[in-house]
Amino acid sequence: MARQERAIRTRKAILEAAGAVFDEHGYASTTIAMVLERAEVTKGALYFHFPSKESLAQAVLDEQLPFGTVPPHPCKLQEIIDITFVFGQRLVGNSLLQGSVRLTVDQCAPPGVDHTGPYRQWAELLVALMQQAREQGELLPTVVLRDTVELLVGAFAGVQQMSRALSGREDLGHRISVLWSHILPSIAVPGLLLGLDSKPDRGTRILADIELSGY
């Protein structure tokens, strides 16, 4: 294995271990030693990639957005819906993502770590997609893009947390579907409503398609 490839693998193993430990224990109670033990890498390798707990937390936070990647869809509102379901579905099984989300929503912001980053990055990404949706005539004229987007981001954060607390995220697909069924009539033009797919298993189906197509 080439040196660079090995370094990438080691970094990935550390981030996955860190995500799992942050998810289980939260930022304050996590120690580098706990991550080391979980990642099964040397202390030197860990400090080579991440010189501090802060930098480890920041890296885990920075990994969050790519988990919302979905195939582009001609209808941009459907693409936004898809992002929420795919992100939710990935959240169920991925400990790096779980740790990243916990660091975002947990309120103790350690000095040197910007835990509000994902809120703002999600908002930027979704405002851009909403802008495209607007240009394509998908949105009601009453929609204020930033208000709608920040509501989606905040509500999603809370819904996934409640799902985690009450069912270990088993009912997350259903809860995301309920979120959309309440919000879509206020933002989508009526002609679009029936054609949008926000059924609870939307995430599972998209992920299956992605695997088949190798997207």
Asked if 182 touches its own copies (CB under 8 A), the answer is yes
Q: In this chain, which of 19, 58, 156, 192 binds its own copies, going by CB under 8 A? A: 156
For the chain, the straight-line distance linking the first and the last C-alpha, in angstroms and rounded, comes to 25
Least separation in angstroms between residue 44's CB and its own copies is 29
Our CB check for its own copies shows the closer of 46 and 149 to be 149
Residue 187 touches its own copies, criterion: CB under 8 A:
yes
Largest CA distance in the chain: 59
Location of structure tokens 């939260």: 26
Q: Give yes or no for a contact between 171 and 89, defined as CB atoms under 8 angstroms apart.
A: no
CA distance 66 to 133: 21
* Residue 119 near its own copies by CB under 8 A: yes
Q: Give residues with Cβ within 8 angstroms of 112, minimum separation 6.
A: 52, 54, 58
The correct pick among 1, 2, 28, 212 for binding its own copies (CB under 8 A) is 28
List interacting residues with its own copies (CB under 8 A): 23, 25-26, 28-29, 102, 105-109, 115-116, 119-120, 147-148, 150-151, 153-159, 161-166, 175, 178-179, 181-183, 185-187
